[in-house]
Structure 1
Amino acid sequence: MPEDSNSILPGQHTSPDRRKLGGKLEVSGIGLGVQNMPRTYQTTIPSRKEMINIIRGAYDHGVTLFDTAEAYGPFESERILGEAVASFRNKIVIETKYGWNIDQATGQRLPGLNSKPDHIKLVVEGMLKRLRTDRIDLLYQHRVDPAVPIEDVVGAIKDLVQQGKVLYYGLSEPGPQTVRRAHAIHPVTAIQNEYSLLWRGPEETILPLCEELGIGFVCWSPLGVGFLTGAIDANTRFAQGDIRGAESRFSPENITRNMVLLDLVKKWAVEKEATPAQISLAWLTAQKPWIVPIPGTTQMAHMLDNVGAARVRFTNEELNSFNKELAAIKIEGVRLPEFVLAFSSVEAPVKQ
């Protein structure tokens, strides 16, 4: 890597550019997802001490947006984050998510979803304890509950806002009409969806909707679950239990076909003296000033590399050239197993 590379080495400091979600909530231009800190895609259990070091290291390098959810663990991801950020809690934004049907006493995953108002309020009480805080900065509905009108959901959120336990709220992977209905009751601050060079589905409906309504957009899996970093190649096969093995975009035949996208990213990484991950993240932040990716990692070197994307800039000419090449690439396969996709783009029932 050239000495003037955009990569960040341990000990160096940078401040990712600041962005505003929903026009109000200021966060770093690159966040950190802590989903896999209790358990990786490969089903291994990372060192808790090292995960805390990574979170604190991210803060030291300018990251102020940290993403978790009750479902990650369940509960354990929130506990790790709460312990890690206790000393600088008031200087960061914590976003977490409710909505899966999880027994709050035992952590047992029960079938389906649960966004009943009383359940949401019970979940938030547990979140506050695990996160060691008195408020949640940004609370998302993890998936739209097809059994609960969004009006009832937002009513519960408004109660929590009035109590000071929640500051802002959002929706993850929602149907567009549900977003409009929610926003009409109380402004939605952010939508969180999968979005990356590998999966550009939000460009069709959700991103234009966010722009229309003044809603921020947070990208989960912005590095294509590792594909856009170069960690996956045509010969990669996944461990049992790794959800990527059930995604048809990573089937043996489709990985080979989809490598043309990684070739494009690597070419631009050379041209911009950056890493493939940095190019992929910088492309996302170049799309709109209210888009914020939250790459997750369990490795300090990868976190430092991701934060370095804040220093990669595309000129308009470069972005147009990149996008022209990108438009010629067709990604083969589906982003998630069908049983998981069934929970995305769902519309909440109409309130009777």
Structure 2
Amino acid sequence: MRTRTLGNGGPNVATLGLGAMAMSGAYGPSDRAESVATVHAALDAGVTLIDTGDFYGTGHNELLLAEALRGRRREEYTLSVKFGVLMAPDGRFAGQDGRPEAVRNFLAHTLTRLGTDHVDIYRPARADPNVPFEETVGAVKELIDAGHVRHLGLSEVDAATVRRAHAVHPVVDLQIEYSLLSRAVEPEVLPTLRELGIGMTAYGVLGRGLISGHWSAGHSAGPGDARAHVPRFAEGNVEHNLALVEALRAVATAKGCTVAQLAIAWVASRGEDIVPLVGARSRERLTEALPAAELTLTPDDLAAIEQAVPRGTARGDRYPSAFMAGLGVGN
């Protein structure tokens, strides 16, 4: 698989990365053995960037990755870890903590769960409104200086916050939602990243499955599936959004690929400084996604995609209303 470099002086990684969140119950139950096999298949296919969060499954995801990565050479993969989200015992979101002492504590537990001596990219999942962001990223800088972390990354912050963090320590990438349905980064955030020499790891490239080509209007999120609370999947919105997917399917059919492959390739086509994260939790979905790394989109293809899914036409917010205020950009 071809590679891309995240930011100036950042890690060189494969064109596609693997997002592991869905392997820990975010979209309902998952099969542990299949999750481990999917990580193995991704590494064997040349995927090198694996993204997780210490709060995914309240530690479950890091322990799962430790199992999946056991026996693999450490230089074979790049670990991206988010921190700072607090969870209650019942799995509910309980706020954020960006205090420097908390950052150090989070990393200590992460290193133990993952069974490694360093994290390649360490990033606050959100900016804690009660802690100056410079203090949070300053703590990561100290961990970099101590050798426990290789690079500073960010997640879901606006352009001004990117600048503030970058002034404390060079940022290699911003992880943020970017897809045909979510393009709010384009006016200000993406130009700022390019001005500063910062890459992007794009998550939600398939809109949490909405533009995968496998979701239907009659489908409902099962128990424990967070999509049951996402406005874009709500009745009245999902039908509109799936009509966009059907228009995209016509373009994909003409191109000789699947809807998912086209949607992933579109994100990858937005620049060599962008690495799409594929949130596969099964080898079947991973196998479908991987060819997107080699799919070249012509100007005519891009025009057809834009016509099928014009910017800003998705209906419904990308997160429940309670979470939208904490995001750096909107939809």
- Common fold, TM-score beyond 0.5? yes
Partner of 2:95: 112
Question: In 2, distance between residues paired with 1:254 and 1:110?
Answer: 25
- What is the alpha-carbon root mean square deviation over aligned residues? 1.9
Question: Under a length normalisation based on structure 1, what TM-score does the superposition of the two structures give?
Answer: 0.88
Higher relative contact order (CA closer than 8 Å, sequence separation 6+): 1
Structure 2 unaligned residues grouped into runs of 5+: none
Moved more, 180-189 or 84-93: 84-93
Pairwise CA distance, 1:110: 7.0
Distance 1:329 1:47 in 2: 35
Q: Which residue of 2 aligns with 1:349?
A: none
Cα distance in 1 for residues equivalent to 2:125 and 2:276 = 17
The CA deviation string for residues 103-156 of structure 1, in whole angstroms up to 9 with x for no partner, is 8xx898673110100110111111111111111000111000001111111221
Q: Which residue of 1 aligns with 2:256?
A: 273
Q: Which residue of 2 aligns with 1:7?
A: none
Q: What is the TM-score normalised by the length of structure 2?
A: 0.93
Flag the 1:235–1:47 CA change in 2: closer, same or farther, 3 A. Answer: closer
Aligned 8 A contact 2:87 2:95 in 1: no
Question: Which residue pairs with 1:73 in the alignment?
Answer: 57
Q: What amino acid maps onto 2:24 in structure 1?
A: P
Who is 1:234 aligned against?
Answer: 217
Unaligned runs of 5+ in 1: 1-14, 347-352
Quote the residue 1:342 is aligned against.
Answer: 325
Partner of 1:84: 68
> Does the Cα contact within 8 Å between 1:83 and 1:132 map onto a contact in 2?
no
Q: How does 1:151-190 map to 2 (within 5 A)?
A: 151-190=134-173
8 A contact 1:71–1:98 mirrored in 2: yes
Q: 1:199-348 counterparts in 2 under 5 A?
A: 199-327=182-310, 330-345=313-328
Mapped pair 1:31 → 2:14:
no
**Cα pair 1:74 1:107 within 8 Å, conserved:** no
Letter of the 2:44 counterpart: D
Q: In the alignment, what sits opposite 2:5?
A: 20
Moved over 6 A (4+): 106-110
Contact 1:285 1:293 (C-alpha < 8 Å) held by counterparts: yes
Q: Is 2:80 aligned against 1:95?
A: yes
Separation (CA, whole Å) in 1 of partners of 2:40 and 2:120 = 18
Which residue identity does 2:78 align to in structure 1? V
Q: CA distance change for structure 1 residues 252 and 212 in 2, over 3 Å: closer, same or farther?
A: same
**Which of 81, 93, 108 matches 1:125?**
108
For these two proteins, the number of residue pairs brought into alignment is: 327
